[in-house]
Amino acid sequence: MDGHDLPHPVWDADNHYYEALDAFTRHLPAGAGPRCVQWATIEGKQYHVVGGRVSRAVANATFNPISKPGCLSEYFRGNPNNVDVLALLKDSEPIRDEYLDPVARTKVLDEQGLAGCFMYPTLGMLYEELLKDDPEAVGITFRAFNRWLLEDWGFDHEGRILNAPYLALADVGWAVEELEWALANGARLVVMRPAAPTTAVGRRSPFDPMFDPFWARVDEAGITVVVHAGDSGQSSNGYAVDGFAANFRGGEGPLEDEGAEPVPR
**pLDDT value of residue 259:** 41
Percent of the chain beyond pLDDT 90?
79
Q: How confident is the model at residue 88 (pLDDT cuts 50, 70, 90)?
A: confident
pLDDT in tens, 195-217: 999 999 999 999 999 999 999 99
The pLDDT, as a whole number, for residue 91 is 87
- Residue 262: per-residue pLDDT: 56
Does pLDDT of 103 surpass 60? Answer: yes
In a domain, 249, yes or no: no
**What angle separates helix 135-152 from helix 172-184, to the nearest 10 degrees?**
10
pLDDT for res 252? 33
Residue span of the structural domain in which 198 resides: 3-63+95-233
Phi, psi angles (nearest 5°) of residue 37:
-135, 135
User: Could you tell me which residues are beta bridge partners of residue 189?
Assistant: 224
Is 180 part of a structural domain of the chain?
yes
The answer to the question of residue 191 being in a domain is yes
List the single range of 154-158, 226-230, 246-250 with lowest mean pLDDT. Answer: 246-250
* Residue 240 counted as domain residue: no
Sign (positive or negative) of CA dihedral 195, 200, 203, 208: negative
Q: What percent of the chain has pLDDT over 70?
A: 88
Structural domain contains residue 78? no
Cβ atoms within 10 Å of 35's Cβ, excluding its own: 18
Euclidean distance between CA atoms 89 and 96, whole angstroms: 16
Would you state the pLDDT for residue 1?
Answer: 58
| Residue 30 placed within a domain | yes
Residues in the chain: 265
* Residue 12 within a domain: yes
Distance CA 17, CA 146 (A): 13
Q: CATH no. for residue 29?
A: 3.20.20.140
Name which of 173, 179, 163 is nearest 220 in CA terms.
Answer: 179
Sequential DSSP letters for the chain:
--GGGSSS--EEEEEEPPPPTTTTTTTPPTT-GGGSEEEEEETTEEEEEETTEE--SSS-TT--SEEPTTTTTTGGGT-TT---HHHHHT-EEPPPGGGT-HHHHHHHHHHHT-SEEEEE-SGGGTHHHHTTT-HHHHHHHHHHHHHHHHHHT-SEETTTEEEPPB---SSHHHHHHHHHHHHHTT-SEEEE-SSPPEETTEE--TTSGGGHHHHHHHHHHT-EEEE---------TTSS--STTTTTTSSS--GGGGTPPPPP-
256 part of a folded domain: no
pLDDT of residue 89: 87
Question: In terms of C-beta distances under 8 Å and separation of at least 24 residues, what long-range contacts does 5-8 make, across chains too?
Answer: 5/113, 6/113
20, 70, 104 from 91: Cα distances, Å:
22, 10, 23
The 10s digit of each residue's pLDDT in 216-227 is 999 999 999 999
What's the mean pLDDT in 70-99? 92
Per the structure, the count of domains in the chain is: 1
Asked whether 141 and 132 are in contact (CB, 8 A), the reply is no
Give which of 228, 126, 234, 213 is closest to 169, Cα–Cα: 213
